[in-house]
Amino acid sequence: MKTIDELLADGVDGKRVFVRADLNVPLDGGTITDDGRIRAVLPTVKALADAGAKVVVASHLGRPKGAPDPAFSLAPAAARLGELLGRDVAFATDTVGESAQATVAGLTGGQVAVLENLRFNPGETAKDDAERAAFAEQLAALADAYVGDGFGAVHRKHASVFDLPKRLPHYAGYLIATEVGVLKQLTEDVKRPYVVALGGAKVSDKLAVIDQLLGKADRLLIGGGMAYTFLKAKGYEVGISLLQEDQVPVVQEYMERAEKNGVELVLPVDVLVATEFPDLKTKAPATFTTVDADAIPADQEGLDIGPKTRELYASKLADAATVFWNGPMGVFEHPDYAGGTRAVAQALVEADGFTVVGGGDSAAAVRTLGFDENAFGHISTGGGASLEYLEGKTLPGLAALED
């Protein structure tokens, strides 16, 4: 895989360089609530602009239905990119139309432009190869070289991720090079003990990665909504907690495999329960109780791991040489149910080993809860991409860059 350093060494002064970034930031109306993904692409954009390139940044945001939708405009992200760069950033109001063509044509060396949301064009996400290829051809006409730096999208077979790099000299940006390097540390010659903490809502989202980790990790800590399917698999009452009943047999088989393989599978020993889900808008104080994991009332749901589990998980993380964490331990968006996620994050901060926060809600939680990002070994920008890499899947965006 060629890197941006090789492109810079060849010289980019006056060249149009297309940077496929991941500016898919959370928005509250037009306000960005977490600019982590924008900051992650800054080193690549700045290096190209400082070297005199005409930088064309493109990304998706959200899931519009292949047509313009003001709610998913990249205009706020473009404005924030300009603020962080400390320079004006032009904004094209379409992807490959008159505005995009005129905006790119008007760039001089060292200037940066952002195209409108790529998913406003149906060709970006089309299942039909020819339709994707046609859109990629239009994007290719805007550039002389391609830099892939949107790690959060490399697991998607989309036009700007998979088809476009085949049509231009292509290179990996600094972010993707870093992300791949980190993932190799989690899959090749891993330093042990290797501890993985998994949370989030659905156990089905994590089954494939658990399947792989049962042959690689030393310990698996399970939390979040997915934990209740594991507790059910042990025969426990889980009340009205989030449960994927159809996955119980698979989870039981995984628990048996973990024991057979010598992998320590650690489940919650106590949980915070309530009769209703908390109000995440007003964040009004919640009424909850703490019960042992085998004593959840039939009319209540688990919303966070309890204090004994927090101490247990912290102790299981303390001696880790390598840690991968993906998924919150509870409904961290509400302060009354953020304690479990905070405890895991704090345990990573205090661990002496190499700690990786696996993107998505985990990365959002770290920022929401006020942790210093530099206290972790690495915070990924792509939760889904990280998991699929650990599952052993071929990621289309990385395959295209390696070609």
Catalytic residue list: 37, 202, 360, 384
Cβ(218)–Cβ(264) under 8 Å? yes
Buried b / exposed e along 281-320 (16+ C-beta atoms within 10 A): eeeeebebeebebeebeeebbbbbbbeebbebbbebbeeb
Give the DSSP letter string of 138-207: HHHTT-SEEEE--GGGTTS--IIIIIGGGGS-EEE-HHHHHHHHHHHHTTSS--SSEEEEE-SS-GGGTH
Give the DSSP letter string of 219-256: EEEE-STTHHHHHHHTT---TTS---GGGHHHHHHHHH
Helices (H), 29-156: 36-50, 75-85, 98-105, 129-140
Helix/strand/coil for 39? helix
Measured distance CA(186)–CA(207) in Å, rounded: 18
Measured distance CA(165)–CA(148) in Å, rounded: 8
SS3 content of the chain, % helix, strand, coil (to 5): 40, 15, 40
Contacts of 146 (CB under 8 A, 6+ apart): 17, 18, 20, 164, 165, 167, 168, 169, 170, 171
Measured distance CA(53)–CA(43) in Å, rounded: 14
